[in-house]
Every structure is written in C-alpha cells, then in structure tokens.
Structure 1
Amino acid sequence: MSRPVRPWIPVGIDGIAAELGVSENTVMAWRRRSAEWVNVAKFPDPAGKISGRDWWWLADVLDWAKQTGRLKEGAQR
C-alpha cells in the first residue's frame, strides 16, 4: 500500500499549525469562529478521527487557507 503524497497527507491541529506557521491555539480559534460566524469561510470538516482526535487532509486545509488569505507566501503547496 502506498502512502499519501503531499498535499494529500493527513494532519492534526499540530500539523496544520506547523504548516501555516501559527500556534495550535490559532487553529482552534479558526475552527470555532468559522463554526459560529456566518461571514467567515467555514474551516474544513475533519476527514476522520484517530484515537479520538480529529484529522484533516492537508490539501483541504491549504485550500481553505488560500481562500481566506491565511496561506503565507512561500508556504508549500
């Protein structure tokens, strides 16, 4: 079985934070805000859970970050 290749790799909150150059608290705030406010693009839904913790496909998060202006210059895509 082959492994997923970038950007189709699974990431958790810590991986998202590292990829986007922000803290884990910032990622959690983005999730909360996009769930509560109508005028903010919704943070992607988790693709699943591993050991009770949410995970996402990196590509989905990067698409969201680009759409919302949170993808910094030089971030890998």
Structure 2
Amino acid sequence: MERPKSPWIPVGIDAVAAHLSVSENTVIAWRRRSAKEWVNVPKFPTPAGKISGRDWWWLSDVLDWAHLTGRLKEPIPENWSPPA
C-alpha cells in the first residue's frame, strides 16, 4: 500500500462524520449518492481498505474530497494535526 499524504490517519464512517461535523447517516448518503453513475460531482473516495469488515479511508483523501465538493470550507493547513 502506498503511503498517503499527511494527515496519515485511517478513519471510519464515524470519524469522517466527526471531522466534517455531520451525522454518520449523512456520510452514508454521500457514499450512496456517489455510487450512482449519473452523479456529476467528484465521487466520495474509494475505501483504502477494511478493518473487521468495515471500510476505512485515509483522512487526507476525505478532507480533499470534502474541500473539492464544498463540504469543507477551509483548506487543510500544512501543519494540520488531529484534535486532541
């Protein structure tokens, strides 16, 4: 597996929801809509893998997608680190 760009944090649906301040159901809806062929916006990132049967993503991929689609208003700062 190729090393992602920073932040190198694996996240599940719950963490994606927390980082973007939305519900887990909203993240599930974004994924479901992204799977449609007629969607004309950037698709939700493909999972990087599975842990215990659940999909996970690199946080940097999700944040890039969120910024690109207007779901993250501020660019990711170079010195970004996760909240404590």
Q: Number of residue pairs matched?
A: 74
> What is the distance in 2 between the residues matched to 1:39 and 1:61?
18
CA distance in 1, matches of 2:76, 2:22: 12
Pairs within 5 Å for 1:15-54: 15-36=15-36, 37-54=38-55
Which ranges of structure 1 fall in alignment gaps of 5 or more residues? 1-5
Q: Name the Cα RMSD after superposition.
A: 2.3
Runs of 4+ deviating beyond 6 Å: none
The CA distance in 2 between the partners of 1:28 and 1:19, in whole Å, is 14
Give the number of the structure whose residues are more often helix, by fraction. Answer: 1
Query: What is the alpha-carbon distance in structure 2 between the residues aligned to residue 22 and residue 75 of structure 1?
Result: 18
Tell me how far apart the structure 1 counterparts of residues 32 and 17 of structure 2 sit (CA, whole Å): 15
Stretches of structure 2 that go unaligned for 5 or more consecutive residues are: 1-5
